[in-house]
Structure 1
């Protein structure tokens, strides 16, 4: 295993097991584990690993590794849905805006529900496109999402409903 791969594994391990708020904290922990890197190298590593930040109710914004967002790996006081910002519902789609880095984990959570009228989701860094099948009624969409994700439905402006 090359040096970069070992460093990436160590970054994932540290970020998954500590509540890191600043790159300086992560640099110090990496140094304690035998990795002496510059801030520029760490920034590139974080970008390559798609490490983002999530709001923790006790610590503020802390780093997270995207695949941490599975049951049992959430930082205390946090869920992927805390990353929601807005939602707009149209006839055959919903566009959901999230905090940077949250879209993929939220889309995965939505996909796991296997909602019968959903054609699928597409997620970027901070935007999710949820496509519906042709025969779905707006009321059915709102009722179903309200059962599973009331915090998402609360973000839909009334003029969209």
Structure 2
């Protein structure tokens, strides 16, 4: 039960901008997990989730690489290399500074967003396969929020 709940938490924070323990508990309850705020608090601690600022909000993230500092480095790479983006159904096309596409693709992969299935990079273009066309719009929104922090 706990393993399933932890898996669902990782899925939910990858899919939604969840800012509070109460929001997370509500999403878990909607998904059929009967939890209290105290349980969610323990789960957050056990999963080593952290809050990261995205735009004008904070949200829970699971930074699986070394630390929160590494997560911020990945976001820095995205900001440094990002030029523009466009969508073709469930494919997100990101234009980058020349020579930065592989770094941007690696940074996106390292963030472990559940909606992104994988990325392919050239010299100045990244193709991201997204689960659905609707998810693609959500990923674009997350990226726009990150770029506003410049």
Return the TM-score normalized by structure 1: 0.43
Greater RCO (CA < 8 Å, at least 6 residues apart)? 2
Return the TM-score normalized by structure 2: 0.46
Larger relative helix fraction: 2
Structure whose alpha-carbon radius of gyration is higher:
1
